[in-house]
């Protein structure tokens, strides 16, 4: 058996850090040993961390995951790996039922396929829609939104061959609490989003099994001092629901930096999650693209729904953010360390899904690592021990 050795000044893991790490990786891509030896130091100021895990992404490189061929998905996955992502959840957008069923079948096939060298690995599906509020639909088409239905969800899950692991849902809709409880019993994680829920309705959703919030601040009832709504509920560190995770799109466009700081202070380092909500234009120049079949125009980092632009209204249609930029932005906005920022983009999403092994760095784990230089720039990514 051949081995590879990786060294750095520091290794940051989910449980702590190792100074002067020496990481031995076998030819199957797994870590066989982690030790500490200052004499083996090769990169004086570099920091090694876990690879990123994006649990909310619709596409990249001109490809929408709902309509991508296997070769299209490979291109998306190579792009993600080059931005430090080791695992991801391809995310749907509300569409016609037959289109959603076809997308779920194709994505299930991708998840069940053997991993490709140099590519991020899809490990489940995030179903965003159709059980969303029309009042907070964002780009999700009104005509395709559905009343929460256990029967329809079960058909979606059957098409996905059980690979739906996260679902965004508005808890105030008729039937939502029953569907949340049903999906929760199946092991699916539920995220409150695209919702106009009051605090009481949000708490009911949490009580039924919801454990996260989708792109916090965006597409949810605004905070009011007499009606906290879903936002106030998610940010409130109340002992009855302290374990609620909260996604955030940290591009400086979706959420202003002062509110990024408020979010991080409220959720702490264990329950804040960085996501991209990236659509097909990520990694591409400004121009016209689609999100779930909807026309989107991208200019100066802003992705907007074309239909609403014609009416003089700005509706953000996902983002063109990458997780390496989200991690850099978080450090810039909050003065977080690189290790803490990476936790929000790796260990926390894995913990939210109940899959901590996906980002764990220990003997027996896959060597999915990111290398940051002394200025905290991402300079290398290793997928199963191989440099990208």
8 Å CB contact between 284 and 61: yes
Q: Average per-residue pLDDT in the chain?
A: 95
Does residue 277 carry a catalytic annotation? yes
pLDDT of residue 43: 63
Residue 331 confidence class, pLDDT cut points 50, 70, 90: very high
Q: Which residues are annotated as a binding site for Zn(2+)?
A: 128, 194, 215
pLDDT in tens, 271-317: 999 999 999 999 999 999 988 778 899 999 899 988 888 788 888 98
Number of Cβ within a 10 Å radius of residue 189: 22
Mean pLDDT of 358-371: 97
Superfamily of domain 53-356: Metal-dependent hydrolases (3.20.20.140)
**Number of H-type helices and E-type strands within the chain:** 11, 23
pLDDT in tens, 1-17: 678 899 999 999 999 99
Q: Which residues are annotated as a binding site for substrate?
A: 139, 218-219, 226, 254, 316-318
Q: Where in the chain is the domain with CATH 2.30.40.10?
A: 1-51+359-388
8 Å CB contact between 263 and 216: yes
Q: Is the pLDDT of residue 159 over 70?
A: yes
pLDDT of residue 310: 79
Widest pairwise Cα distance in the chain: 64
Report the percent of the chain where pLDDT is more than 90: 89
pLDDT of residue 116: 92
Could you give the CA distance from residue 66 to residue 152 in angstroms, rounded to a whole number? Answer: 18
The model's pTM: 0.96
Closest CA to 307 of 295, 316, 298: 295
Superfamily of domain 1-51+359-388: Urease, subunit C, domain 1 (2.30.40.10)
pLDDT of residue 239: 83
Q: Which residues are annotated as a binding site?
A: 128, 139, 194, 215, 218-219, 226, 254, 316-318
More confident residue, 187 or 1: 187
Backbone angles phi, psi at 60, to 5 degrees: -175, 170
Q: Where in the chain is the domain with CATH 3.20.20.140?
A: 53-356
Residue 178 confidence class, pLDDT cut points 50, 70, 90: very high
Residue 243 confidence class, pLDDT cut points 50, 70, 90: confident
Q: Residue 144 CA to chain centroid, in angstroms?
A: 24
SS3 77: helix
Backbone angles phi, psi at 386, to 5 degrees: -100, 130
Could you give the CA distance from residue 349 to residue 271 in angstroms, rounded to a whole number? Answer: 9
For CA atoms 298, 168, 206, 143, give the dihedral sign.
Answer: positive
8 Å CB contact between 129 and 168: yes
Listed in sequence order, the residues at least 6 apart from 210 whose beta carbon sits closer than 8 Å to its beta carbon are 169, 171, 180, 184, 190, 191, 192, 244
Could you give the CA distance from residue 316 to residue 302 in angstroms, rounded to a whole number? Answer: 7
pLDDT in tens, 36-55: 998 877 667 899 999 999 99
Q: Six-digit token pair at 331?
A: 């450090």
Give the HSE-up count for residue 216: Cα atoms under 13 Å, Cβ half-sphere.
Answer: 29
Q: Which of 277, 288, 308, 324 is catalytic?
A: 277
Q: Is the pLDDT of residue 229 over 70?
A: yes
């Amino acid at each position: 058996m051949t081995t590879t050795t990786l060294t750095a000044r520091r290794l940051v893991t989910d449980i702590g850090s190792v100074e002067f790490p020496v990481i031995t990786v076998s030819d199957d891509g797994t870590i066989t040993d982690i030790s500490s030896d200052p004499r083996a130091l090769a990169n004086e100021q570099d920091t090694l961390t876990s690879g990123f895990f994006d649990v909310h992404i619709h596409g990249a490189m001109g490809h929408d995951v709902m309509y991508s061929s296997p070769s299209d998905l490979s291109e998306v996955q190579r792009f993600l790996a080059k931005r430090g992502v080791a695992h991801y959840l391809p995310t749907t957008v509300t569409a016609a039922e037959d289109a959603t069923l076809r997308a779920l079948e194709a994505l299930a096939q991708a998840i069940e396929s053997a991993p490709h060298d140099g590519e991020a690995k899809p490990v489940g599906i995030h179903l965003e829609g159709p059980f969303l509020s029309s009042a907070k639909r964002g780009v999700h088409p009104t005509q395709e939104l559905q009343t929460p239905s256990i029967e329809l969800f079960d058909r979606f899950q059957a098409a996905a061959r059980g690979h739906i692991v996260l679902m965004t849902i508005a808890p105030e809709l008729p039937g939502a609490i029953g569907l949340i409880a049903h999906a929760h019993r199946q092991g699916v994680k539920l995220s409150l989003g695209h919702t106009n829920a009051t605090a009481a309705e949000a708490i009911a959703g949490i009580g039924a099994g919801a454990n996260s919030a989708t792109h916090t601040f965006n597409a949810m009832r605004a905070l009011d001092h007499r009606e906290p709504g879903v936002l106030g509920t998610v940010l409130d560190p109340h002992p009855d629901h302290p374990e609620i995770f909260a996604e955030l799109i940290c591009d400086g466009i979706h959420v202003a930096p002062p509110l990024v700081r408020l979010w991080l202070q409220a959720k702490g380092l264990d329950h804040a999650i960085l996501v991209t909500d990236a659509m097909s234009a990520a990694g591409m120049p400004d121009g016209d693209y689609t999100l779930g079949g909807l026309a989107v125009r991208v200019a100066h980092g802003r992705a907007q729904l074309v239909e609403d632009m014609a009416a003089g209204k700005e509706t953000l249609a996902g983002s063109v953010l990458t997780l390496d930029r989200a991690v850099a932005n978080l450090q810039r906005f909050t003065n977080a360390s690189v290790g803490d920022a990476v936790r929000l983009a790796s260990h926390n999403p894995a913990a939210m899904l109940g899959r901590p092994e996906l980002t764990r760095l220990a003997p027996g784990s896959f060597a999915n690592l990111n290398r940051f230089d002394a200025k905290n720039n991402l300079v290398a990514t290793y997928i199963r021990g191989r440099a990208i």
